[in-house]
Structure 1
């Protein structure tokens, strides 16, 4: 069976012998469970005052609604388990036919209850505070409302129900009028002047009940209702005639966000009382979200920061407390749209005060205000518009005075990102080398501790002069002097990470030379170049063309190295990088006139012969140096060499003696070792085209070879080789060169003449026969005539 609701009616009155109220259900009344009878009759008794309305909870979970008339109380018993419609009439409206549900209660409260609130503004916040505490843990003390008219009590209760979250409004128990408040178990008790209740008893007021006296009595002390922001915001809405909206599902029963949204949507959301917001309220992100949704976030921020001082006072939070709130909102993920307006307002206020004091605040002075990069840029732009002209004028005036006076306006200009900082950087860079101002300039830079300013100053110190010459040398010497000075050099050393290369080189050079006790000692020229290139302070090392170019300009500011230093440079740096750095002239001087022909020279020539930007004569020399060992190693043929080498020698002219002798000797050696009878092109080159140096070296090679008696005897025993040499050296080509003709004649006499003395007639005849076979009778006759001549 379903749960049955019981309609009850009791006759009430006072007993003849006692003052106690009796409750008689009369004959035929619905049965009431025995275990509830005494409780129901008690509740009927405390609700017996004419016109009283009450709502009570029974021990078994049931509910009892009562309405008292003259001598009779009508009651509605809702047993345990009876449904409670979420949008049905509230208990306070149960006997009001027109009202249907919470919306009607709110609508009615918006008139009568709002009027009641306006007429009792001072009592409103304490009353709502006590109403909320009824549902606390532990529950608050029962409320006693002392009013002349029970309908006034009913309005107070209706206002409470319209203010509370729905489940709490339905759970609130009350009696609008009772003469026996000490027996009444409800949460809110309405009494009149006739009630048996001492409204002035301190014990009663302070410990037993919360008394709200509308009859002129003192009532209970107001307590600390100022901290109950649910009560304060709800009261603010009632005073504006706006019933509060219930919290959304999922929000806490006394969530502030819906109330803030309603308050901030009022035409006048801020009052003198409403401006005083303690940090525990400000930390509620709901406040800021509601303010943002209502479009009054900026106004809220302005009110808060405008009223705040450096420290809390007058009930308002201080700037540091607001900064803490701002940081906590940021950390809780409230979002930039919520956090940034407050952060910017706090930062503006802090900077405005700092500018007035002439001291720019550090990051720690801002209390950790969470400013995004975009917010910082916006703040700087605003402050630049406000302060810019004054800062620029102030700095321009001070730059002509003592260095320490530059700090204030220069610091502001740096923070604001003003162009005038460049003038300040120029002045600081000019002051650093000055003996009288250098230490002050370092102190200024250390005080400002601004990497951007440091970089500007360093860039000016390390700016290269245009082109080699006296100006560049002076710049290098000035840098070296600055790096050696103290404290300037120490300041430079601490900033090598972002210093220009020239500054790095100067600091490194001073450090290298400091290891040598005598002034002027230490690495210089090629040795210095190699030492600096090897240091970790030089970015890019061997593979950075820009670094090598600037290093070259630093070590040789008005010229270049001696050619003898080039091997040292090549030990520290790639030849192609040296060429790109402007070392083509030094490389060319070394390639064309080397001290020795070693693997380093050959490797350099190999790498440079195809490089762009190389002088044509130097390129031809490089190719010539590569071609000679290629011939010796068989990578090119003699036939190819006798075309390539002469061409390269012409292109590389004028050859230095060292290269001339080296290439001529190597070509001549190969010619001397070759059977030219089988290489007609090579033979024609030697006879008709070879330069005198090649012919001369050829002659020397042949003589050295046959200086050995063994080699000479071997030649004498080889009639084929002897015939071949005679044909080569005795050859009467019309295009033969004069120097070849002289050399060939001498070789015939010196080599073949000596060999012939070791030959018998048979061998001599064999040579003649070979010449006749290979070249005809004419050559046989020439051989015989030559023999006859040398035998005389």
Structure 2
């Protein structure tokens, strides 16, 4: 296939001295539209510092612009532009551009890559003298080994740019993948890469490095230009730019302002103040970063054949794992991330890989120097577990020794320890490792290793493989592991813990016993643990507290069902609270958590389990608090008080005992069962309770309310009102006034004449006894009694007077005078209002 060619040359237009350019030769059949589009891509501007009359040597040093660009019809334009001196006037730069058109979907003949045309001698430096174009059926070839793009030259160049190599490869790959993912458009997250280099040959070297690392399909379609004065408007994916042109305004503006990646040589003047120190994708994925690092190390080792070897593996050279495996097999050293990726990839493809290749990869993994990360250690352990029958002892023995050593040093990094593979290692090897690691292993088990208690299970499994005796350390490990599991079930539980519990019966027994004790201390934490961790509780161990917590449906719920949940929890424990009273405490804390049971719940708990279990378990304290801290309107609290005093006479201290006696009296008074004297006995009990310490406010409120309503009743014993008035207790008097103002008293005043008469008689009694009483009774007569009497119908009013006459003639006379006083007061107020209006 002969390539269509274009020759574009600077020349004066119309015979004038003005600069200009035109096509000087074009292959037949090239569409006019393509020529018009290509014309904007084929010009050349010399560098800003180019000499006005360059010599032959200076011309050779000027940058060459090799460009590869996609046109609108899908064809691609591969062109080389060079400066040829000055034009006939001696004032303007002269240049010549030779270009070929690659049809849509086709490539260069022979599969050559576009960058390889850099040093092709078939590029023309001038237009054909007669305008006739010689056929061109090939362009681009394998670069010469001794040329600027040979392997030795590229390796040396990569070494000088080592800090920027991996970010550059990651950036170019992201550009290519964005182009492929969007059907050939630059719609990816990263659309262009700018290369800051003074020498265009160095830009070509960058392109050669990238093209070798990428698959041929990517490299063949990568668009680029090795030089341009206007980088902002360059349409290619990789743009070579000199430092002084990096900020040149054009098209879409300054490249770095557009957020594109800029790479360059830190040794160049003007580069560091424009480009980032290390450039690359703004946020590369871990896989992309690992691939780029491995590809960079391949070039730094001078082994580009590794890329071809990776292509022969499953997933190809774009797979970070495949490239890492090919690099290790080819003798290229990788960092810990690269080795971890190689081990992970080899595990997935162990059956498909050539055994000899797999052996070389494993040998390189084992021989690597430098620190091992947790990620690498885990990947190596999983690789060993996957090898199975696919690898021989020459492969598994060194890898097993490495895995065991890493497991001792960083046990949490290898939770999935392949015990079956390790147990199959040669006995001599295991004995040697046991001799070398025994002290370190036992110290790690005793202290939990560098990873704390979570590392001990792995260390115990290593000890089992190596035959190191750690039986004396198991109780301590069980206790530490139990604490870690209760504190953080998700973090502490894992494959290593599960496996070691299956393998070591003594550790499992000790752990479950420790967890049972932890469940008794903190049932809620144990319930969270058993909800997350699949503990097997089958066996001969009792474990009553742990069984109660496992899958407990009796966690705090509706109050009406909590006593039933308590008995369900006790049944789940498998033991009777009479035989093991502490399970009662665990069950109570499971069901109620930090809350107190209601007084009714406390009564049913006491009836259902008996006092002996509560006494030993210490839950009687919660029952006492349930009674004393119950709301003042809880009708069951007073009935609970005498039961508690009867059941725990020796356990309850003086303070709570006095408060319970006070609560019992208040309840009896409210129920009308308390014998006289009320006020004297109530205040005496209250003062006795207060002498032993604070009394819960609900108990004091309940007493005050019971006394107040008792004193406001018609059935109060004689002398109780006198005791109220002369007792001088301001709190009780205030409670009396508050109760009298309540709706309960007001309703009776308006509906029961006998009660109205009784209250009037009470509130007019003992005038002058105390100032507080006078203020209270006067306020009650005016604010409570008078509105109620005023609303009474005539028959009820007459009944009030009759009742008062029966109590004494002076009572009825006082009532009538009080009423006249009321009428006169209203009349006086009316007259006063008329006077003010006059």
Give the TM-score taking structure 2 as reference length: 0.39
Give the TM-score taking structure 1 as reference length: 0.41
Bigger Rg, which one: 1
